[in-house]
Amino acid sequence: MPKFAANLSMLFTEIDFLDRFQAAAQAGFKGVEYLFPYAYDKQELARRLKDNGLVQVLHNLPAGDWEAGERGIACHPDRVEEFRQGVARAIEYAQALDCPQVNCLAGKVPAGVDSATAHRTFVENLRHAAAELKKAGIRLVIEPINTFDIPGFFLSRTDQALAIIAEVGSDNLRVQYDIYHAQRMEGELGNTISKHLGSIGHIQLADNPGRNEPGTGEINYRWLFRHIDAVGYDGWIGCEYKPAARTEDGLGWIQALA
């Protein structure tokens, strides 16, 4: 059976963030992930993890002004110093939380920046981040995100991510394969996971359409979970979906499909 991690930015949102750790543990999760830890004290987050017997699976690098609509700055040529400062901050948090990997959101291509410049900036930033994180024993992943939900997002397909990883040339860089985003952009979920398993550092899920629980849409999760097990993926699968109602009311998919 896959190892599922609760995404605390998406699940249990009816309660305060710090209380979601206990809620996740009570619901049976052994791991958690979330967008950003930076608004909270490192020691307090570490205490919540320890008190609830949870593993911190993943968080993101700082990604600009999220509330203003920014979704990463790694492809922004005028934000390189800010990006590098964010890498250092992410390392501090990941070490305090014993988090083994962090995700880099490429961001939306800024107005007036051509695709070649955005690409070059992203590659150079990833080289820096992968090297710094490797020194700290932390892996870096990059996530293709569908351009229906986030128009203009620079990194949107698995093949694009793999080509960038090859160009960066680091053994500390992998793909974060989000099943929902991949279904919207390209399909071929089972074949892609099989073919590129060695390049996949983390998997996330949601169904489509709607980005709700598995079993609510078109993706055959019963088959896909068995396939993921069969090909030998032994990492965590982050539950990054929008519950159709209360989180607890929709968790039956785990027993029904996994």
Confidence class of residue 1 from pLDDT cuts 50, 70 and 90?
confident
Q: What would the pLDDT profile of 217-236 be if each residue is shown by its tens digit?
A: 999 999 999 999 999 999 99
Task: Note if the pTM is more than 0.75.
Answer: yes
- What percent of the chain is modeled with pLDDT above 70? 100
CB atoms within 10 A of CB 111: 6
Confidence class of residue 10 from pLDDT cuts 50, 70 and 90?
very high
Length of the chain: 258
CA dihedral angle for residue 208, residue 195, residue 105, residue 129, rounded to 10 degrees: 160
Whether 240 is catalytic: yes
Look at 1-5, 43-47, 65-69, 209-213 and tell me which has the smallest mean pLDDT: 1-5
Of 70, 82, 143, 186, which is the active-site residue?
Answer: 143
Q: 235-254: buried (b, 16+ CB within 10 Å) or exposed (e) per residue?
A: bbbbbbbebeeebeebbebb
Q: What would the pLDDT profile of 47-103 be if each residue is shown by its tens digit?
A: 999 999 999 999 999 999 999 999 999 999 999 999 999 999 999 999 999 999 999
**Sign of the C-alpha dihedral computed for residues 224, 227, 229 and 233 taken in this order:** negative
User: Do 252 and 19 contact (CB within 8 A), yes or no?
Assistant: no
**For the residues 118-130, what does the mean pLDDT come to?**
98
Confidence class of residue 199 from pLDDT cuts 50, 70 and 90?
very high
pLDDT of residue 217: 98
Confidence class of residue 171 from pLDDT cuts 50, 70 and 90?
very high
The CATH-assigned architecture of domain 3-257 is Alpha-Beta Barrel (3.20)
Asked if the peptide bond before residue 209 counts as cis, ω within 30 degrees of 0, the response is yes
Please give the helix or strand (H or E) that residue 55 lies within, else none: strand 55-60
Whether 143 is catalytic: yes
pLDDT of residue 103: 98
pLDDT of residue 96: 98
**For the residues 158-184, what does the mean pLDDT come to?**
98
pLDDT of residue 38: 98
